[in-house]
Amino acid sequence: MKKRALISVSDKTDLDFFAKELYALGYEIISSSGTAKYIKSMGIPVLEVSEITGFPEILDGRVKTLHPKIHGGILAIRDNEKHIKQLEENDITPIDIVAINLYPFEATLKKGADLDELIENIDIGGPALVRASAKNYKFVAIIVDPKDYKIVIEELKNNSEISIQTKKKLALKAFRHTAIYDSIISNVLNEKFEINEKFPEELTIPVRKKQTLRYGENPHQEAALYISPIEDRFSIAGAEILQGKEMSYNNYLDVESAVSLIKEFEEIAAVIVKHNNPCGVAIADNIVDAYKIAFSRDPKSAFGGIVALNRKVDLELSKALTETFLEVVIAPDYTEEALEILKSKKNLRVVKINNFFEEDKGLDYRRISGGLLLQDKDKQLYKELQIVTERKPTEKELEDLIFAFKVVKHVKSNSVVIAKDKKTLGIGAGQTSRVDSLETAIKKAQEFGFDLEGSVLASEAFFPFRDSIDYAAKYGIKAVIQPGGSIRDKEVIQACNEHNIAMIFTNMRHFKH
């Protein structure tokens, strides 16, 4: 029997090559109207689907290929005598190759189309053809990606058939293709229909592989980066890597931490992160000073760190950035002169995030064995600022308290931050005891010669005992901000009153595990 190929594609990439080669190999090509017109323009004979089915395309093209003469030709099991007999009885010719691109729903979304246009770009017949072909992979090769045209043609030329291994790979790719297509549609319509069901009973998360990474957290772990096609307006996964070595798995995690923190500030700010924790944060009148001050908070930890800046990097700042070893610099933009200077550090990864200041509206996902945990992103800072001590904080202390609370929100728990003049002095991260975190922060501040007199202290969760307050008082800390909520709050407040320390409750905890 004559071999048949069904081609119906919205993406015409390399279609001229594929159609010409199939025709030269003796395949009869059938196609829907738009693709048929394109192939005919190359001088290649084409049978239109309507000629096969004896039924015209109807409903503005909504119904084209949904017909037994098409799906029967795809789904028939070739070594099943009953199937072959039924094909003969119904004048159905088997289809051996199917090349399908689905309607461009995603591209239509990105150009800002309204709901009606989006609905018209939901493919019905295409996914049915893809799934039917993939189901019958033993006898039908399904191609959903123009990149696979070449391997199919090469196997046909070399072996006169497509190997079963290639058909299996193509079938798996096809099922994934329809899965992500439907996943994008369901996620978009959840918003467009204004249903906005945050935690639906069934959840699909559309992502595509962007690249294989060198390795994961450690060299013996394999890793890859996937990117969401519907969350790329503000996207670290989709950031531009302007120069430097390939980003690593750990680089991406650190960049996420650094950018999440710096987006807390509208003022000119710089953040330095090391191993997912900030080691220096500062606000200043200009971005160069902000970076230099942030670096000075803990230059030992900043070595090999990740720097996030919320203003354009200029020539002066680029010179400062190249004075030490850094892994990554992230900013909303760079001057040409700055990029030239940064190139002198050939391994330094220079990252530009488009729409830097746009809010990330997605959810947080975390995998556990056998499932996923989902939660809202931690976007709020406090419910209220409740002064609970006899002494009220001064206006300057209040500004420093809010600054410190913004920072401690992004430090691994248990955590505390000591700050003064909207600059960190010491950060205690990830201790199993809160007083241990405080001791670490104080030691860090002392190591680099910072005077703690008149500084403020932020804790991301409540103080379970008064010991941290008593300890902080010894070093001149004058104000504290914390969520409150301990059964010993009264004891903690009493300790503050005894030491003439102002304390504010925020009534909002910020654990970060």
CATH classification of the domain holding 326:
3.40.140.20
Phi first, then psi: give them for residue 78, nearest 5 degrees: -70, -25
Of 34 and 223, the one with more pLDDT: 223
Q: Does the structure show a pLDDT above 90 at 360?
A: no
Residue 378 lies in a domain: no
Q: Does the structure show a pLDDT above 90 at 401?
A: yes
Residue 377 lies in a domain: no
Q: Are residues 292 and 413 in the same domain?
A: no
The whole-angstrom separation of Cα 110 and Cα 99 is 25
**Rg for the chain (alpha carbons), in Å?**
31
Residue 29 lies in a domain: yes
Q: Does the structure show a pLDDT above 90 at 52?
A: no
Please state which of the ranges 19-23, 226-230, 304-308, 460-464 shows the lowest mean pLDDT: 226-230
The whole-angstrom separation of Cα 119 and Cα 141 is 29
Q: Which of 500, 465, 504 is nearest to 483 (CA)?
A: 504
Model pLDDT for residues 432-475, shown as the tens digit of each residue = 999 999 999 999 999 999 999 999 999 999 999 999 999 999 99
Q: Are residues 336 and 395 in the same domain?
A: no
What is the residue-averaged pLDDT of the chain? 93
Phi first, then psi: give them for residue 271, nearest 5 degrees: -130, 135
Model pLDDT for residues 315-347, shown as the tens digit of each residue = 999 999 999 999 999 999 999 999 999 999 999
Model pLDDT for residues 496-507, shown as the tens digit of each residue = 999 999 999 999
Model pLDDT for residues 110-156, shown as the tens digit of each residue = 888 899 999 998 988 889 999 999 999 999 999 999 999 999 999 99
Please count the helices (runs of H) and the strands (runs of E) in the chain.
19, 21
Q: Does the structure show a pLDDT above 90 at 270?
A: yes
DSSP label of 148: G
Model pLDDT for residues 363-373, shown as the tens digit of each residue = 889 999 999 99
Number of domains in the chain: 3
Host domain of residue 466: 386-505
Q: Are residues 167 and 46 in the same domain?
A: yes
- 246: its two tokens: 């390939």
Q: What is the pLDDT of residue 197?
A: 85
Residue 222 lies in a domain: no
Q: What is the pLDDT of residue 356?
A: 82
Residue % of the chain over a pLDDT of 70: 99
The whole-angstrom separation of Cα 427 and Cα 411 is 8
Of 60 and 493, the one with more pLDDT: 493
Q: What is the pLDDT of residue 55?
A: 77
Alpha-carbon distances of 274 from 235, 251, 302, 505, rounded to whole Å: 21, 10, 7, 29
Q: Are residues 329 and 408 in the same domain?
A: no
Q: Are residues 146 and 257 in the same domain?
A: no
The whole-angstrom separation of Cα 384 and Cα 374 is 26
Q: Are residues 31 and 163 in the same domain?
A: yes
- Helical H runs in 160-236? 164-192
Task: Write down which residue in 352, 371, 406 finishes a domain.
Answer: 352
Residue 363 lies in a domain: no
Q: For residues 133 and 43, is the Cβ–Cβ distance under 8 A? A: no
Q: Are residues 75 and 164 in the same domain?
A: yes
The whole-angstrom separation of Cα 478 and Cα 490 is 18
Judged by DSSP in three states, 377 sits in coil
State the DSSP H helix or E strand holding residue 69, giving kind and residue range, or none if neither.
helix 68-75
Mean pLDDT of 202-211: 90
Residue 462 lies in a domain: yes
Q: Are residues 344 and 405 in the same domain?
A: no
165 exposure class (CB count in 10 Å sphere: 0-12, 13-18, 19+): exposed
Confidence of residue 355 (pLDDT cuts 50, 70, 90): confident
Which residue in the block uniquely carries the two structure tokens 């304390």?
Answer: 503
Task: Indicate which residues carry an active-site annotation.
Answer: 135, 275
Residue 366 lies in a domain: no
The CATH number given to whatever domain includes residue 118 is 3.40.50.1380
Model pLDDT for residues 442-452, shown as the tens digit of each residue = 999 999 999 99
Q: Are residues 51 and 181 in the same domain?
A: yes
Mean pLDDT of 143-172: 95
